[in-house]
Amino acid sequence: MREIDRLTIERFRVPSQLLMEEAAASSLQAIAAHFRDGLQGKRVRVLCGRGNNGGDGAALARQLWLKGARCDIILFGRVEETNADARVNFEIAQRLSSFEAGTHTEPPPLAFIECAGVADWEEIASAGHSYDLIVDALFGTGLTRPLEGLFLKAVEHLALLSRARERARGEYPLIVSLDIPSGINADSAELIGEAVRADLTITFTAPKPANVLPPASHYSGRLTIADIGSPVVLIEAAESKLFLTEEEDARSWLVKTRYTPDSYKNVHGHALIIAGSRGMTGAAALCGKAAMNSGAGLATIATAASALPAVSARSMPEIMTAPLAETSQGAISFEAVEEAQKLAERSAIIAIGPGLSSEDETTRRFVRAIVERRKTPVVIDADALNALAPWPEGLRGSDEHPLILTPHPGEMLRLIGTDDKDALSDRVRVAREFATAHELILVLKGSRTIVAAPDGRVFINPTGNAGLGTAGAGDTLTGIITGFLAQAYGTLKAEANAVEAVIAAVYVGGFAGDIAARERGMRSMVASDISRHLGAAIYALDPVGEKP
């Protein structure tokens, strides 16, 4: 992003001051949305570093003042020490805070204080003033080492205020970071030291890795992306391979696959779900339910013969079931391959794995045969992943018959053949390398689920919450992905794009979980709640398409 700013200034002759003003205007708009009764009379403190991030903060303070807020600007340093571009805004703020800017009845519109050291800060912090809004504009995207000294003291003070607010069950002060919370390396998901925990982060032009990848992303609070006027051609020329999934991505897919007046069940695709075993029937039922609730036209659960009665009893009445040959332990056996292939002939998509069991060699051979002999896309989850771990070198996806893998971190470690948890320290890199090496789509579940495409693109999903860590949520996500792929291939046929369908499915699944959490809280959420709220999530994204 720093390079985009530089090129905007050099190639398009856009003054740095104009970019700062645009950043301030966009930030003002995002902040105003949090104060429904307006900004008039609100008390604001803006903490500014000496660089351009601080200059953005000073420009924002001026715009907040114009909306009626009472602003205190704290510059961590001296004006003469500041970056040349930022200095213009600091000098303006300094003049506006002077005696000449006020009157006999009205004080100056801004207060401007230079904070040169820890002693100065301790005096400022101990004054005991209360604020409605505190803006963190200390450091932007250039920080690569831990905060210390004066800056560390300021971050610790903000943490103290946040804890006091939480104890009092209050809403203010609202803590807002500009571009990136100070103390975080914008290019890394890992924390480098103490950092500001923002309620809202307004990032400019495009999200940075630390805005979207945990654990660093947990410090951003709600993320808003602000356009500050950088030409689109520069953003596209950056050729980023890392993307944040947006609401419009999911909406666009829903619009493409809308039900039409003459559509019916076969148009929306038939999903074959090979899942379940004796004693593990719930996973199959959850997966099937999610596939149907996400919009698949038809769904069949094929399961071990002895598990069939329990699966049928737990499943929606709209779901068909079929028995498959089984082992003495009640898991699907290799002898079921032929029957499973017959079922697959009338299906648009296969999902395999939930509750399957991978203990018997004959079950593992069955999974390998289904995947290798596929004539449709295949979603591979849970025990089917374990049956194929470590991933066979010669097993690859294709454009015609994509493979979609949905591992959680433990399954991912088994797929790459290690038990070293540090191997997943860079989840983006691992997901990208695995997806490109094996030409498949990888959905690496976790906080901020990652979708890696065969061409090296990686998409970070912003929806979802900790309540989705409940039992059966993975089986439900597999069902949603399967349902979306069934619709894509049933409705769009040759024009179906598996990556787009998977990205939309992950977004909608997380969104349904967010709606469920708002209704009943995260703690008591169960996997069925996700399926139950899929309709609300889809309707919220595409109300026009969902109305008859």
pLDDT in tens, 473-500: 999 999 999 999 999 999 999 999 999 9
pLDDT for 104 equals 61
Same domain flag for 363 and 455:
yes
Tell me the CATH number at 285: 3.40.1190.20
Q: Would you say residue 12 has pLDDT above 60?
A: no
Same domain flag for 451 and 528:
yes
Q: What's the pTM? A: 0.90
> CB within 8 A of 405, min separation 6: which ones?
380, 381, 385, 415, 440, 441, 442, 443
For residues 497 and 256, give the distance between their C-alpha atoms in angstroms, rounded to a whole number: 11
Mean pLDDT of 53-65: 96
Same domain flag for 234 and 255:
no
Same domain flag for 10 and 143:
yes
The answer to whether position 219 is within a domain reads yes
Same domain flag for 219 and 157:
yes
Same domain flag for 234 and 315:
no
Beta bridge mates, 200: 176, 222
Q: Which helix (H) or strand (E) holds 222?
A: strand 222-226
Highest mean pLDDT among 82-96, 219-233, 299-313: 299-313
Beta bridge mates, 45: 72, 134
Half-sphere exposure of residue 267: CA atoms within 13 angstroms, side-chain side: 9
Q: Which helix (H) or strand (E) holds 70?
A: strand 70-75
**Model confidence band, residue 127 (pLDDT cutoffs 50, 70, 90):** confident
For residues 292 and 370, give the distance between their C-alpha atoms in angstroms, rounded to a whole number: 22
* Strand, helix or coil for residue 251: helix
Q: Which of 105-114, 320-329, 333-342, 493-502 has the lowest mean pLDDT?
A: 105-114
pLDDT in tens, 415-471: 999 999 999 999 999 999 999 999 999 999 999 999 999 999 999 999 999 999 999
Same domain flag for 270 and 359:
yes
Distances (CA, A) of 261 to 15, 124, 253: 53, 66, 18
DSSP 455-493: TS-EEE-----GGGGSTTHHHHHHHHHHHHHHHIIIIIG
Task: Select from 239, 258, 275 the last residue of a domain.
Answer: 239
pLDDT in tens, 357-373: 999 999 999 999 999 99
Same domain flag for 283 and 212:
no
DSSP 105-124: SS--SEEEEE--SHHHHHHH
Q: Which domain holds residue 361?
A: 249-546
Domain count, the chain: 2
DSSP 417-452: T---GGGGSSHHHHHHHHHHHHTSEEEE-SSS-EEE
pLDDT for 382 equals 97
pLDDT for 8 equals 60
> CB within 8 A of 108, min separation 6: which ones?
96, 97, 98, 99, 101, 102
Task: Select from 239, 259, 274 the last residue of a domain.
Answer: 239
**Model confidence band, residue 228 (pLDDT cutoffs 50, 70, 90):** confident
Task: Select from 207, 239, 271 the last residue of a domain.
Answer: 239
For residues 548 and 536, give the distance between their C-alpha atoms in angstroms, rounded to a whole number: 15
Q: Would you say residue 231 has pLDDT above 90?
A: no
Q: Which helix (H) or strand (E) holds 300?
A: strand 298-304
The answer to whether position 529 is within a domain reads yes
**Model confidence band, residue 234 (pLDDT cutoffs 50, 70, 90):** low
Tell me the CATH number at 165: 3.40.50.10260
Same domain flag for 275 and 154:
no
The burial class, CB within 10 Å (0-12 / 13-18 / 19+), for 23 is buried
**Model confidence band, residue 338 (pLDDT cutoffs 50, 70, 90):** very high
Same domain flag for 516 and 391:
yes
The answer to whether position 244 is within a domain reads no
The answer to whether position 303 is within a domain reads yes
Distances (CA, A) of 153 to 75, 308, 515: 14, 63, 38
**Model confidence band, residue 539 (pLDDT cutoffs 50, 70, 90):** very high
Q: Would you say residue 227 has pLDDT above 90?
A: no
Same domain flag for 207 and 275:
no
For residues 243 and 264, give the distance between their C-alpha atoms in angstroms, rounded to a whole number: 35
Same domain flag for 445 and 539:
yes
Mean pLDDT of 39-66: 96
Any idea what DSSP says for residue 280? Answer: B
Identify whether the C-beta of residue 378 lies closer than 8 Å to the C-beta of residue 370.
yes
